[in-house]
Amino acid sequence: MSPAGPRVVTRRAHAKINVFLRVLGRRDDGFHDLESLVLPISLHDVVTAEVGGPGEMSLQVDEAPGSAERVPPELVDNLAGRALLALAERVGGGAEAPGASLTVDKRIPVAAGLGGGSADAAATLLAVNELWRCDLDRVVLAEIGAWLGSDVPALLADEPVFVAGRGERLTPVHASSVWWVVKPFGFGVSAADAYGWWDDDPITGPDTGVLIAALETGDVQLLGDALFNDLQPGVVSRHGEIAETIDAFLEAGAFGAIMCGSGPTVAALARHIGHADALAAAVPGSIVVSGPPAVTLPIPGS
């Protein structure tokens, strides 16, 4: 580490949509082998890391409005906090680490299937790596991220990626930016529950070549027809409002609609931003996003 690094580093932590989620089966270690295309979207948290006293670590979380669940503010209970501690251990730990004060401005709903906690962990690794001038490359950060959670390596990539294994094997995918509308709910679904329900009725979706080609070319008609999520039937059977919301989007003219990740958020595909605005008006409480983000603006205050 170099002592000449910046005093404050701010990073966006982008939410994600799983354009498809194909579950292949439970592994001996209790995780599941899967295939998915993880698409970062414009909805994001903001993670700010500031140099602290030697060996001192702290975390402040500014809650997302309307979140179904509270974000744990303690370092060891929060994915961003655990990312900070893991990086400190990797580079020396204890009094040898320069210390950091971490602030997470939550905008992504919690336990929504949008990867908010994993995105915060990924942004923390990137921000503190820069703050402390660790000079760790993305491969090393991804190794740390995989230990923290299956979605963290994909969200470290900060671009569309095809993921395999339990999420640690990544292949970049070119994707034209398209418009989506996401509808969160006032309750959360744990990934452990969603995968457990899949185990009760393990059905694996189709080959994904057509879907990936549609995303690469921006063919929203073909993409909408091909969306699927193997976790969706098990979650929907227990939360009927998800199916009702999917139907509402389709009736309003969406090209397709799907549950995000382990749920419960629903994402609907639009032709363009005006179409997305109309879908959001038809389903109250929805948020218009682009994925990958169509425009990158400066972070306020950075």
In this structure, which amino acid lies at residue 6?
P
Give the per-residue pLDDT at 271: 94
Q: Which residues are catalytic?
A: 16, 151
φ, ψ for residue 263, nearest 5 deg: 85, 175
Which domains occur in the chain, in start order?
8-172 (3.30.230.10), 178-291 (3.30.70.890)
Contact 208, 275 (CB under 8 A): no
Would you state the pLDDT for residue 71? 60
pLDDT of residue 158: 86
pLDDT value of position 56: 87
Kindly report whether the peptide bond that precedes residue 292 is cis, defined as omega within 30 degrees of 0: yes
Q: Which helix (H) or strand (E) holds 149?
A: none
d(CA 280, CA 1): 47
What tens-digit pLDDT sequence spans the chain (302 residues)? 555 567 999 999 999 999 999 999 999 988 899 999 999 999 999 999 999 888 888 999 887 655 555 566 678 888 999 999 999 988 875 555 678 999 999 999 888 999 999 999 999 999 999 999 999 999 999 999 999 988 999 999 989 999 999 888 999 999 989 999 999 998 989 999 999 999 999 999 998 988 999 999 889 999 999 999 999 999 999 999 999 999 999 999 999 999 999 999 999 999 999 999 999 999 999 999 999 997 554 554 44
For position 55, what pLDDT does the model report?
80
- To 10 degrees, the CA torsion angle through 82, 85, 91, 92? -150
Please give the pLDDT value at position 167.
86
CB 217 within 8 A of CB 210: no
How far apart CA 144 and CA 90 sit, in angstroms, is 9
So what's the pLDDT on residue 132? 92
- Going by C-alpha positions, the residue among 34, 18, 16 that lies closest to residue 229 is 18
- Residue 205 CA to residue 23 CA, distance in Å, equals 8
> Which 8-state DSSP code applies to residue 187?
S
Sequence-ordered alpha helix ranges (H) in 7-113: 79-91
Nearest to 99 by CA among 57, 149, 130: 57
